[in-house]
């Protein structure tokens, strides 16, 4: 049954991506019951998922900011766009 | 009636940094991230009549930005033709020819959930992500950091769902190996 580890690693990942078929669920369960390495792998992938859920919910880098230069150039573009609009309205 | 209050400059003041962080966490490039903020605010300004006010302004802006980011990724894929970056396959070295483990996954004793606010852990995680092949990383981050669903990712990257599952599997395996090596394995600081 050792040859199945590679397959089981794939199933482990897929179980977070799609609904496994009944057969696949059986294969996974059976194999995990008797293979310690795959159990470790399965558990670590699960842990990893929790980490990313946590990260998703708590925005990561909280201290990054737009540079002043970027801000200035964006402001400039916005003002230009606003003026364009104002000009258009006058023509009507 | 909303018209009076529409002021894109104040959007920039209030939401600019947030949008910037959002784009940066997806694209990892400050200049491009700043461009995305600009594109988003310009598009928002042009389309502000469509803002119904049934979501918060920030949610609305982020929605626009998501589209901008996907457009950007699409363009990048088209330009670089990285569509077939599949050779980089950690599964080849992780398993013996008969499919048995060659690198032994260990049980992760440490509880990483409690580690999420640990800067050092974040750094290691970030570095492991950066070592993923480009395509794997892109797909993995859309999935795990942006929380995008399968169809969104498949459309943006022009891949099938099977292809996506393969890439996710390879990315997970590579990350597992990397984190085990650099965090959960060996050097347990006492
Ligand atoms: Zn196994």
For residue range A76-91, list pLDDT tens digits in order: 998 888 888 777 655 5
How far apart are the C-alpha atoms of A9 and B68, rounded to whole Å?
A: 35
The structure's pTM equals 0.66
Calculate mean pLDDT across residues B48-62: 84
Inter-chain contacts counted by CB atoms under 8 A, chains A and B: 147
Q: Which tokens hold the place of A4? A: 């199945």
Specify the residue for token string 């491009």. B32
pLDDT score of B39 = 94
Looking at per-residue pLDDT, the higher value among B12 and B126 belongs to B12
Q: Which residue of chain A has the CA closest to B36? A: A74
Alpha carbon distances (Å) from B160 to B66, B75, B137, B154 = 21, 18, 17, 6
Identify from B6, B42, B58, B100 which residue to disrupt to test chain A contact, counting A C-beta atoms within 10 A and taking the largest count. Answer: B100
- Name the fold adopted by B96-184: Arc Repressor Mutant, subunit A (1.10.10)
The answer to whether B9 and A75 are in contact (CB under 8 A) is: yes
When the pLDDT of each residue in chain A is averaged and rounded to a whole number, the result is: 85
Q: How many structural domains does chain A have?
A: 1
Whether pLDDT at B150 is above 60: yes
| Greatest mean pLDDT range, A13-17, B4-8, B32-36, B176-180 | A13-17
Calculate mean pLDDT across residues B163-172: 96
When the pLDDT of each residue in chain B is averaged and rounded to a whole number, the result is: 81
| Greatest mean pLDDT range, B79-93, B118-132, B152-166 | B152-166
The yes or no reply on domain B2-88 and CATH 1.10.1740.10 is: yes
Quote the ligand 1 centre to B95 CA distance (angstroms).
Answer: 10
Structural domain of A79: 3-91
8 Å CB contact of A81 and B122: no
How far apart are the C-alpha atoms of B97 and B165, rounded to whole Å?
A: 22
Calculate mean pLDDT across residues A31-53: 93
């Amino acid at each position: 049954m050792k040859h199945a580890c590679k397959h089981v690693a794939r199933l482990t990942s897929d179980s977070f991506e799609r609904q496994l078929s009944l057969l696949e669920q059986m294969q996974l369960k059976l194999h995990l019951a008797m293979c310690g390495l795959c159990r470790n792998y399965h558990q670590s992938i699960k842990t990893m998922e929790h980490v990313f859920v946590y990260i998703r919910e708590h925005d990561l880098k909280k201290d990054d900011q737009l540079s002043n230069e970027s801000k200035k150039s964006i402001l400039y573009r916005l003002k230009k766009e606003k003026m364009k609009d104002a000009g258009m309205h006058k023509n009507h | 009636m909303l018209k009076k209050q529409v002021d894109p400059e104040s959007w920039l003041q209030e939401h600019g940094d947030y949008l910037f962080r959002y784009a940066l966490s997806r694209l990892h490039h400050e200049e491009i991230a700043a461009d995305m903020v600009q594109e988003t605010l310009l598009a928002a300004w042009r389309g502000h009549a469509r803002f119904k006010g049934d979501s918060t302004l920030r949610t609305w802006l982020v929605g626009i930005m998501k589209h901008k980011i996907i457009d950007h990724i699409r363009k990048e894929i088209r330009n670089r033709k990285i569509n077939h970056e599949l050779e980089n396959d950690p599964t080849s070295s992780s398993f013996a020819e008969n499919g048995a483990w060659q690198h032994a996954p260990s049980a992760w004793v440490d509880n990483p959930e409690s580690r999420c606010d640990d800067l050092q852990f974040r750094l290691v995680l970030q570095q492991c992500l950066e070592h993923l092949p480009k395509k794997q990383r892109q797909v993995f981050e859309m999935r795990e950091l942006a929380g995008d669903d399968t169809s969104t990712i498949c459309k943006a990257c022009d891949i099938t769902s099977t292809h996506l599952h393969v890439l996710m599997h390879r990315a997970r395996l590579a990350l597992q190996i990397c984190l085990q090596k650099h965090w959960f394995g060996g050097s347990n600081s006492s």
